Structure formats: structure tokens, C-alpha cells
Amino acid sequence: MLLAYIQSDELEWEQLLPALELAYNATSHSSTELSPFEVMIGEDPLTAADLDIVGPLAPTLTPPMTKLFRKLCDRIQSHIMQAKWRQKYCADPARREVGLYHIVSAFFSLFAKKLKWDGLLLAMKLAR
């Protein structure tokens, strides 16, 4: 998880550790599908990303920490957008329009296979 947040030229990565700890504890895990905060407390913590919705800053959050969270959220959002565009770019060439011709040909293909098996079963019954 550290590699996702810390760049190779990052010199003051120790300052990111509290934010990374919060990000890890607020992220749902694949095994439980809950975050550690949800498991222990029953709800997700209030983060700097939620502060625009809630209202004024909480007195426990310092402005440098809020700026750090904002930077991290912006960086993550840009990574997500880049990943979405890469996935779309890779998926679009393989995609094709499915028209009525494809549906009808698939139906008749299945129908022909059914007739083939019916004929085989009829021949086996007659052979007994």
C-alpha cells in the first residue's frame, strides 16, 4: 500500500505515515468486506474528504493534515481516472455491436446442435 501513495522521489515519506494508517484502517478489506474501523467501532471515521459535506473543520484536524488528505485524495482520484481510461481504451477495440443477425444466427446454431443430438439419441433408441 505504501507504493501506491509514496512516489520514488519522495523525501519526507515519514510525514505520510499517519495519513496512510488512516487510509488503511478506513479501507474495506476483501476478506471481511469491512474496514478495521467498521469492525471495531461500527462506523467509518470522518475524514478530510467528508469535511466539505459536514461543514466547518473539526478542531482535532489540523490544516496541514487536511491539506495532506486533500493532496492524497486528488492523487488517488487522478490514478483512478487514468486506470478507467486505460481499461476503456483496451476494452473498446474488442467490443462489437450485437445486432439481430447475431442473435438469430446464435439461435439457429443452438437449434441445429439440438437436432444433431436428438438424431443421435433416436438412433441409440432404435439400436436397442
Residue 104 within any structural domain of the chain: yes
Note whether residue 47 is domain-resident: no
Q: What total number of domains does the chain contain?
A: 1
Q: Is residue 82 part of a domain?
A: no
CB-facing half-sphere around the CA of 52: CA atoms within 13 A: 5
Give the list of residues 6+ apart from residue 98 with CB closer than 8 angstroms, or none: none
68, 49 contact by CB (below 8 A): no
d(CA 128, CA 122): 10
Q: Is 113 left (phi over 0), alpha (psi -120 to 50) or beta?
A: alpha
Distance CA 7, CA 89 (A): 25
Cell matching residue 113: 446442435
User: What's the mean pLDDT in 61-77?
Assistant: 73
The confidence score (pLDDT) of residue 6 equals 65
In a domain, 127, yes or no: yes
Local structure of 8: helix, strand or coil: coil
Give the pLDDT mean for 71-89: 82
Residues in CB range of 58: below 8 A, 6 or more apart? 46, 51
Residue-range definition of the domain harbouring residue 114: 97-128
Residue with cell 439457429: 108
Instruction: Band the pLDDT of 80: cuts 50, 70, 90.
Output: confident
Residue 113 domain flag: yes
Q: pLDDT tens digit string along 16-62?
A: 778 778 888 888 877 777 888 887 887 777 776 666 654 555 556 56
User: Chain-wide mean pLDDT for the chain?
Assistant: 71
Task: Give dist(CA 6, CA 23) in Å, integer.
Answer: 13
